[in-house]
Amino acid sequence: MKEIKAIIRDHRLDAVLDALHTHPELPGVTVTNVHGFGRTVGRPDAASDASIQFGTVRMTKVECVINDDQLDSVIELIQQAAHTGQPGDGKIAVYDVREIVQIRTGMRGTRVN
């Protein structure tokens, strides 16, 4: 299993969610509003954008845990939908997940259902 964490521009969230809804086996996503900065975007001297607060820029984090065979297709959907071609489009990180435990049932496993 893999966990994908994608940090994307706020205004690309709807496009990314629309794209992910087309994936027939995606179990779900978590969306969080975040602040941060990168090498060229979000630093106080890099721009005078109104979205910059305390030396950071508003972004959105989209997270999902998926089965290994879904990895490439989910990354491609996120990358295509989040892409603007401008610096600060974001990043996608992939992590290994050892196990999933369903809170309601206590069921444990190595695949996302």
For the segment 48-101, what is each residue's pLDDT rounded down to a tens digit? 555 555 678 899 999 999 999 999 999 999 999 999 999 889 999 999 999 999
Structural domain count of the chain: 1
Name the band, by pLDDT with cuts 50, 70 and 90, for residue 43. low
**Cβ atoms within 10 A of the Cβ of 46, count?**
17
Q: What is the extent of the structural domain holding 29?
A: 2-109
Nearest residue to 74 via CA among 16, 20, 111? 20
CATH of the domain at 6: 3.30.70.120
Residue 8 has pLDDT above 60, yes or no: yes
